[in-house]
Amino acid sequence: MILLKSHMKILAILLPALLISCNKMSESVYDKSAGMNGSYEITNSGLPVNWLVYTSKTVPEGDFDLIFDREEYKDGNQSLKFLIRKCSDLGGLKSPGIASEYHASPSSKYIVSFWIKNTGCMFAINVGGVTAFDGSMESVIKTDQEFENWTKYEYEYLMPDDENYNRFRFELSILSPGSFWIDDVRITNDDDKILEPTEL
Ligand SMILES: [Ca+2]
C-alpha cells in the first residue's frame, strides 16, 4: 500500500512535465543578426542560433547529445556534433537532427554546400523549396558510409516555377547510433549571396 502511494505521487509529479515536452516538436532560438550561422559558431541556451533542432527533449525515442565540438571542426572554432546512443530511423521530427528555412524565390537556382564527418551513423540530408503547406524536397545524401576525414558535399537545386515556393529548406536527420559532425553549411543564390533565414 505504501509502495502504491509513492508510485502515484511520482506519476502526479511527472505527468505535467511529460505533456509539455511531448507537445514541443523542436527547439530553436532566432536572432536576425546571426544570419545563416552555418558554421555553428553562434549559440544560445545550448542550441545553434537560427536552426530548428530536434533535441533529446523533443525526440522521445532518442538518447543522444548535441555537442559543439571545439576539437573536430572545419570552419571557425567549432562544429555541431551529434553523439547518438539510441534513435528512431523515421527521420524528421522523430529523429535527432536540424532544419532551417531561408527566404527564396521561385524558378531560382540555389547551391548548397556543407562539410561532414561520420562514424557509425545512417544519416540523410534533404533540401528543397517549400510553400506554407507543401514541399518539393530532394535527397542530397542518405548513407551509413564512414567519413573519417572532413568531406565536402555540394548540391544544386532549382526552385519550382510556382509563386507559392518562397522558402528553401535544409534538413538533416540522423537515423542510427554513432557520431556525426557537420560544419560550414552554405546556401547561396546565383550571385553567390548567402541566404537569409526565416524566423522559425
Ligand atoms: Ca564552425
pLDDT per residue over 113-164, tens digit each? 999 999 999 999 999 999 999 999 999 999 999 999 999 999 999 999 999 9
| Calpha distance 107→58 (Å, rounded) | 35
Round to whole Å and give the CA distance between 95 and 58: 9
The pLDDT value recorded for residue 182 is 98
Mean pLDDT over the full length of the chain: 91
Q: The whole model's pTM is what?
A: 0.87
| Location of C-alpha cell 547551391 | 111
Distance from Cα 43 to the centre of ligand 1, integer Å? 11
Q: Is pLDDT above 50 for 21? A: no
Q: What is the pLDDT of residue 170?
A: 98
Quick one: pLDDT at residue 117? 98
How far apart (Å, rounded) are the C-alpha atoms in residues 149 and 43?
A: 25
- CB count in 10 Å sphere of residue 146: 12
Residue 117, all three cell numbers: 564527418
**Of all helices (H) and strands (E), which one includes residue 14?**
helix 2-23
Helices then strands, counting H and E runs in the chain, come out as 1, 12
Q: Is 139 exposed, middle or buried (0-12, 13-18, 19+ CB in 10 A)?
A: exposed
Q: Is residue 21 part of a domain?
A: no
Q: How close is the Cα of 5 to the center of ligand 1, in Å?
A: 51
**Residue 79 C-alpha to ligand 1 middle, in angstroms?**
4
Q: Is the pLDDT of residue 35 over 60?
A: yes
Ligand 1 centroid to residue 75 C-alpha, Å: 4
Is residue 74 a part of any domain in this protein?
Answer: yes
Q: Is 103 domain-assigned?
A: yes
CATH number of the domain at 146, please: 2.60.120.260
Positive or negative, the CA dihedral 31, 151, 81, 176 is positive
Q: From the CA of 54, how far away is ligand 1's center (Å)?
A: 19
Distance from C-alpha of 40 to C-alpha of 70, rounded to nearest angstrom: 11
Cα-to-centroid distance, 183 and ligand 1 (Å): 5
DSSP 96: S
Distance (angstroms) between ligand 1 centre and the Cα of 40 equals 5
30, part of any domain: yes
74 Cα to the center of ligand 1, angstroms: 6
Query: Containing domain of residue 170, as a range?
Result: 26-188
Task: Answer whether residue 178 is part of any domain.
Answer: yes
Q: Give distance in angstroms: CA of 78 to centre of ligand 1.
A: 4
Examine residue 60 and state whether it is found in any structural domain, yes or no.
yes
The total number of structural domains that make up the chain: 1
Ligand 1 centroid distance, CA of 173 (Å) = 19
For position 200, what pLDDT does the model report?
A: 73
- Whether residue 197 is contained in a domain is answered as no
Q: Quick one: how far is CA 167 from the chain centroid?
A: 16
167 Cα: distance to centroid of ligand 1 (angstroms): 24
Please check whether residue 16 lies inside any domain of the structure: no
